[in-house]
Structure 1
Amino acid sequence: MTTTPNAIPEAQAAAESVPVSSAESLSADALEFAAAAEEIRAGDDDELTARRDAILLGMLPDVPFDGWTLGTMRRGAEAAGYEPEAAPASFPGGVIQAVEHFSTWADRQMMERLAEANLPALKIRDRITLAVRTRLEVLAPYKEAVRRSVAVLALPQNAGAGPRLLYRTVDAMWAAAGDRSTDHNFYTKRLLLAGVQTSTVLYWLEDRSEDDAATWAFLDRRIANVMTLGQGLSKAGNLGGLGKMLDAFPSPVRLMQHLRRQAR
């Protein structure tokens, strides 16, 4: 994916004007998110996770130049002190598994940082804002690698990975925020936050403002949308009314389609 200097207005327009989901597509999103719930809660072996983390961090400096490739993974293994073949052995699923690990690594780093924050003292909207911002701050040194990972996830053969990783991320954010819902609100909260997360990442990738100030302002606007919609959803009471409530909110699936077009 190539970038255009001073592309913030274009990125904002893309993030804010992507067509919204219909009730039918939202139902499909909800089903896909729900189906991923059990899978993403399974943890990796600690030793294997540590080795994957080391290889990932070893390869990230090369990703902006060489992309997510097996060669980059092998060099990452060497940089981490392993034999080159430790990379395919640690990521038998290949490049897409390394990209997925990058996302879950960022989730874990986000959760560790949030654990040190005094979240109970914050309002819910501030907890969620902090979670989204914290994850982007974790990824800030690797922005080009994130851009390259989006391009990999946009490939047709990897279509299922994006929603699964997005669910993992927003579920972790809500868990950190103290969400204990078990009814339909469990899914509507995550669907709404998925829209915030996806559009904010899209905006952030093109942000050239100092200290990402434009991104944080954009995030505040999206969170304000969520809070407004959340109040309406409480009145609607079920997923059936969700489509009508999202007249001004982008669908994560539509945004992924936009990212795919950008990656071509």
Structure 2
Amino acid sequence: MMTAPIDPAKDKLIDAILPHVAFDGWAPVAFNAAVAEVGLDPAHAKTLCPRGAVDLAVAYHQRGDGAMVAALKQADMSDMRFRDKVAHALRLRIRAIDDKEAVRRGTALFALPHMAPDGTKLIWGTADAIWDALGDTSRDINWYTKRMTLSGVYGSVVLYWLGDDSLDGQATDAFIDRRIDDVMQFEKVKAQVKQNPLLKPVTGPLSRMLGAIKAPTKVPPVDLPGMWRDQT
């Protein structure tokens, strides 16, 4: 899931709204305060963020994804096992969060029934960004299962981290390792089932059916004057 660079004015609004989010949440009153502090024309602000604070909450999450990807590109992971690379990416994503209360408030926002699709899309986007950064080349059903599994892992990591008061987040680090171990164990069992000759009458046709599923074609962000495309 690719996102275009955040508009500089929207980036300023994100920084301006964060202190207000701690008290008011991702709410209209916080958005209006941020707009006033930045000195942005309200009509322009509405154009940038049609849903107000909600759109800033989305942009804040995506900014964290961008920071994580940038950190991954700078990291030397040549000696890491693949499971450790995934764990490292999750740790970098958590470290990219500069306001814990903003995430806490965002978690509450995107847990609302009418906001759940947005929250699910954001978590999926984080998982997608991690797999892309780690060089995933799968184009079949595995493209979906990898992101679905990692979405579940990242979602649980965030919830655990929100309640973690251990020194330097050591408890969250250990939790990440446990969750990755669970995933690797699941993948091992899945491979054993697939290779079991007694299950071939079932797994064979199923594999052929799933083989017809292809990953979506990713369209690069368009950032040209007069052109707009929803990349979220």
TM-score by structure 1 length? 0.68
d(CA) in 2 for partners of 1:104, 1:184? 25
8 Å CA contact 2:14–2:60 kept in 1: the answer is yes
Structure 1 residue 96, shift from structure 2 partner: 2.2
**Counterparts in 2 of 1:1-264, with a 5 A limit?**
40-41=1-2, 43-44=3-4, 46=5, 49-83=7-41, 85-139=43-97, 141-237=98-194
Runs of at least 5 residues in structure 1 that lack an aligned partner in the other structure: 1-39, 242-264
Where does residue 247 of structure 1 map in the other structure? none
8 Å CA contact 1:73–1:87 kept in 2: the answer is no
Rg larger in structure: 2
d(CA) in 1 for partners of 2:193, 2:52? 44
d(CA) in 2 for partners of 1:87, 1:188? 38
Structure 1 residue 149, shift from structure 2 partner: 0.5
Structure showing the higher helix proportion among its residues:
1
d(CA) in 2 for partners of 1:222, 1:162? 21
Cα distance change of structure 1 residues 236 and 60 upon mapping to structure 2, 3 Å threshold: farther
Structure 1 residue 86, shift from structure 2 partner: 4.2
Structure 1 residue 102, shift from structure 2 partner: 1.5
d(CA) in 2 for partners of 1:80, 1:118? 38
Amino acid aligned to 2:68: M
Cα distance change of structure 1 residues 80 and 234 upon mapping to structure 2, 3 Å threshold: farther
8 Å CA contact 1:77–1:86 kept in 2: the answer is no
Identity rate of aligned residues, in percent?
A: 36
Amino acid aligned to 1:77: V
Cα distance change of structure 1 residues 79 and 111 upon mapping to structure 2, 3 Å threshold: farther
Amino acid aligned to 2:88: L
d(CA) in 2 for partners of 1:53, 1:76? 11
d(CA) in 1 for partners of 2:184, 2:80? 15
Structure 1 residue 84, shift from structure 2 partner: 5.0
Where relative contact order (Cα < 8 A, 6+ residues apart) is larger, the structure is 1
Equivalent residue of 1:156, what SS?
A: coil
Structure 1 residue 78, shift from structure 2 partner: 3.9
Structure 1 residue 81, shift from structure 2 partner: 4.9
Cα distance change of structure 1 residues 180 and 234 upon mapping to structure 2, 3 Å threshold: farther
Amino acid aligned to 2:150: L
* Number of residues of Structure 1 aligned to a counterpart in Structure 2: 197
User: C-alpha offsets along residues 66-100 of structure 1, whole Å, 9 cap, x if unaligned?
Assistant: 21112212322344453455432310123322221
Equivalent residue of 2:99, what SS?
A: helix
d(CA) in 2 for partners of 1:145, 1:127? 27
Amino acid aligned to 2:24: D
d(CA) in 2 for partners of 1:88, 1:168? 24
Runs of at least 5 residues in structure 2 that lack an aligned partner in the other structure: 195-202, 208-232
Cα distance change of structure 1 residues 92 and 133 upon mapping to structure 2, 3 Å threshold: same
Where does residue 5 of structure 1 map in the other structure? none
Equivalent residue of 1:157, what SS?
A: coil
Kindly report the root-mean-square deviation, in angstroms, between the aligned alpha carbons of the 2 structures.
2.1
TM-score by structure 2 length? 0.77
Structure 1 residue 118, shift from structure 2 partner: 1.6
Amino acid aligned to 2:83: R
